[in-house]
Amino acid sequence: MLHPPTSFPAAASPSAGQEAAAGEPLVRFRGVQKTYDGVHLVVQHLDLDIRRGEFLTLLGPSGSGKTTTLMMLAGFESPTAGDIVLEGRPITRTPPHKRHFGMVFQNYALFPHLSVGRNVAYPLTVRKVAKAEQEQRVARALGMVRLDGMAERLPSQLSGGQQQRVALARALVFEPQLVLMDEPLGALDKQLREHMQIELKDLHRQLGVTFVYVTHDQGEALTMSDRVAVFNDGAIQQIDVVDRMYEAPANRFVAGFIGDSTALKGTVRATHVDDSSDRCGIVLTDGRVISGVNVNIRDRETDKPVVKKAKKDQKQDKRSGAGGTQSSADTKTGAAPAPAPTPVEAPKKQ
């Protein structure tokens, strides 16, 4: 386990001003777009609120625009259009060092010629923090990441996992309110990666700092995050708490990307929604009938969920004493029963 000190960043004990603004998102992306070549939008139109104190993960396949989004937040890339607002103030044109965010990347990026202690002290040195206070803070940050006693070593004398902990200590030592991480565990072996996931989540919980984390690994995202934003092709497909991603994927892309799911073509025959079950009869194209649990019904044309309407119809039917029901997809299209390919079971959690 990592060991946070009893009192650490300001975010853990907000000032009066921060408390007043507690309901406000910490960061807002408003209509943000990005193109590198003037033609293709790698970030299409991003409206994203980052809540104070949350662990938000940007999840998506390679090339979906996650790093570009994080780099715009960090200030290393400028949006082509739109604004990024921090605590109500636009920071779109604020240089990275004036944003005061902690950052951790995949390749550690430690100074090889500086000791571990000097590496961690670096953000304090550039902020001209007094020597004695630097020493205290460095010792505390190294304790948090379980590297007590390692301050004199060079990065080359540490394992990959230890080097990544140094990078984490360096990102936290100046007590930022926001820490940005881009695939920080990508270079570690599986066992260490999973161990560090738990430690990061634990540290986040105890410090109360806002984390924005980029990964293409859905298991990693679901293990650690409060909320996940699923990216595809430069756009957020869904932003939600982890459970909702499983239970109610917003479209086929999310259903396919999160967990293991199987899509079947069929016709919704009846729903049996009551307090104890959430079942649905489905007639497959070969005539077999199966009973699905936690079924997400989508319109074939729009790929939009229609399950809520189906439930509502069911309740109304119950009240009116009607027996069977018809899915809203059927009712809506007025066609012979023809809902979209329908995932019939909720993805199994791993």
Closer of 77 and 313 to Mg ion (Cβ): 77
Closer of 2 and 239 to ligand ADP (Cβ): 239
Residue from 217, 109, 89, 122 nearest 155 by CA = 109
How many CA atoms does the CB half-sphere of 66 hold within 13 Å? 25
Please, are residues 163 and 105 in contact by the beta-carbon 8 Å criterion?
A: no
Residue from 255, 333, 322 nearest 295 by CA = 255
Residues near Mg ion (CB under 5 A), total: 1
Closer of 62 and 191 to ligand ADP (Cβ): 62
Judged by CB under 6 A, the residue of 11, 26, 27, 42 near ligand ADP is 42
Q: Decide which of Mg ion, ligand ADP, none touches 210; Cβ closer than 5 to 8 Å per partner kind.
A: none
CB of 325 to Mg ion, least distance (A): 46
Q: Decide which of ligand ADP, Mg ion, none touches 65; Cβ closer than 5 to 8 Å per partner kind.
A: ligand ADP
Site for Mg ion in 94-133 (CB under 5 A): none
Q: Decide which of Mg ion, ligand ADP, none touches 342; Cβ closer than 5 to 8 Å per partner kind.
A: none
Site for Mg ion in 45-74 (CB under 5 A): 67
Phi, psi (rounded to 5 degrees) for 239 = -125, 125
CB of 98 to ligand ADP, least distance (A): 22
H or E stretch at 249: none
182/257 Cα distance (integer angstroms):
19
Site for ligand ADP in 284-313 (CB under 6 A): none
337/350 Cα distance (integer angstroms):
34
Closer of 76 and 111 to ligand ADP (Cβ): 76
Closer of 71 and 248 to ligand ADP (Cβ): 71
Q: Which residues of 145-155 are buried (b: 16+ CB within 10 A; e: fewer)?
A: bebeebbeeeb
Closer of 29 and 231 to Mg ion (Cβ): 231
Site for ligand ADP in 57-96 (CB under 6 A): 60, 62-68
CB of 15 to ligand ADP, least distance (A): 34
Residue from 101, 179, 111 nearest 145 by CA = 179
Listed ranges 55-63, 138-146, 304-312, 319-327: which one lies at the site for ligand ADP (CB under 6 A): 55-63
Q: Decide which of ligand ADP, Mg ion, none touches 64; Cβ closer than 5 to 8 Å per partner kind.
A: ligand ADP
Residues with Cβ < 8 Å from 133, sequence gap 6 or more? Answer: 124
Q: Decide which of ligand ADP, Mg ion, none touches 63; Cβ closer than 5 to 8 Å per partner kind.
A: ligand ADP
What Rg value do the Cα atoms of the chain yield, rounded?
A: 24
Residues near ligand ADP (CB under 6 A), total: 10
184/170 Cα distance (integer angstroms):
13
Query: Which residues, in sequence order, are bridge partners of residue 280?
Result: 271, 292
Helices (H), the chain: 16-20, 66-74, 116-126, 131-144, 160-172, 190-207, 218-224, 242-247, 252-257, 307-319, 328-333
Judged by CB under 6 A, the residue of 20, 36, 133, 152 near ligand ADP is 36
Site for ligand ADP in 207-266 (CB under 6 A): none
Interface ranges with ligand ADP (CB under 6 A): 36, 42, 60, 62-68
